[in-house]
Amino acid sequence: MANPHASDTPHWEAAFEHYYQDRMVDAFEEISEHGVGEAGELIRWYRIIEAEAMTRAKSSVLQVAPWLTLEFVADETMGIEGELGERTLQACIDVAKRLGWEHKVPTRLAILAEVTDAPWATNPYGYCVSKEPYEKICLPNYLVDDESEFSQAVAHEYAHVISSNVTDDYAPRWVEEAISVLVERRFDAEIWEQFRVDPSMWLSPTDLEVMLVDRSDDDGTKEEIWMAYQQAGWLGRYLSTIDGVNRLGEFLHEIANESPRINLVRTLKGQDRTDSALRRVFGMGKAELFSRAYSWVVALDSIEP
């Protein structure tokens, strides 16, 4: 989840400082009696801080692994927090194996308080944000009732933890979502059919990035946003099939490659990090990837894993 725009009010500046230190009660106290900016531009952040603060006010923490903690509201998890911790750990382990990742970054998964499962929720499927002293994944409470949905959501968000840390935040959003949607294993048959019958639905690298980064919560764009996530997932799925070897972890590492030789080559060839990494690992640039992946998607007989 991206950082907020700078605010010119001292209360919001203090709130964001508390937020990124995960001092949620303090963060909410800073803004609870103050405005949300002209035209309400900070309402989304108000709701995010409110939801995490409401959870923190009555939550407990379970140490699941040396690097993983689970934050939960005991009255709402009804004694299955141990099971939820195991589900979380297994989902993280599965994603890490696929991407060649060692669990070395402290991570907290917070199951948000049930009261925050509301129409005003700004991230109804969960989100991940880098804080101190850990990466924090927040999931809505309703996911607790469905083991499969819960594990898929954990996998999606933990893939963001891995992508962000491996690439030093250099990866574009479409790359992160390509990995996250792939490991989540949530592919929409109707969207797949739309891609097959209408090539204009398949966005260019630039347009896909814009749709994923500048997405709106407006009802009129929800289908377009979902389609963008699905396209990113198909790109990840295509890359995972090349040569029958999963080289996605290598690809992420190459995006962050800071060797003098690689930096020089990138500069001389006018390549950005992602294009350069794609060429070194998969032998193609972004334009060719998007074209090949689309042809592959169209030729598929089914979308079963």
pLDDT tens digits in sequence order for the chain, 305 residues long: 555 544 557 889 999 999 999 999 999 999 988 767 654 678 889 999 999 999 999 999 999 999 999 999 999 998 999 999 999 999 999 999 999 999 989 999 999 999 998 766 667 789 999 999 999 999 999 999 999 999 999 999 999 999 999 999 999 999 999 999 999 998 999 999 999 999 999 999 999 999 998 764 444 478 899 999 999 999 999 999 997 667 999 999 999 999 999 989 898 999 999 999 999 999 999 999 999 999 999 999 888 75
pTM above 0.75, yes or no: yes
Task: Provide the CA 21 distance to its chain's centre, in angstroms.
Answer: 20
Distance CA 171, CA 83 (A): 33
DSSP secondary structure letters along 74-128: HHHHTT-HHHHHHHHHHHHHHHHHHHT----S-EEEEE--GGG-STT-S-TT-EE
Query: Is residue 162 within 8 Å of residue 96, measured between CB atoms?
Result: yes
CATH architecture of 60-166: 2-Layer Sandwich (3.30)
Q: Is 257 exposed, middle or buried (0-12, 13-18, 19+ CB in 10 A)?
A: middle
d(CA 234, CA 152): 16
Whether the Cβ atoms of residue 82 and residue 21 lie closer than 8 Å to each other: no
- The sign of the CA dihedral 86, 87, 90, 96 is negative
Q: Which pLDDT does position 92 carry in this prediction?
A: 98
Give residue 219's pLDDT.
44
- Which pLDDT does position 38 carry in this prediction? 57
Query: pLDDT at position 220, please?
Result: 46
Spatial distance between the Cα atoms of 258 and 115, rounded to a whole number of angstroms: 45
CB 65 within 8 A of CB 89: yes
Give the pLDDT of residue 123.
73
Other C-beta atoms closer than 10 Å to the C-beta of 212 total 19
The ranges assigned to domains in the chain are 10-54, 60-166, 173-299
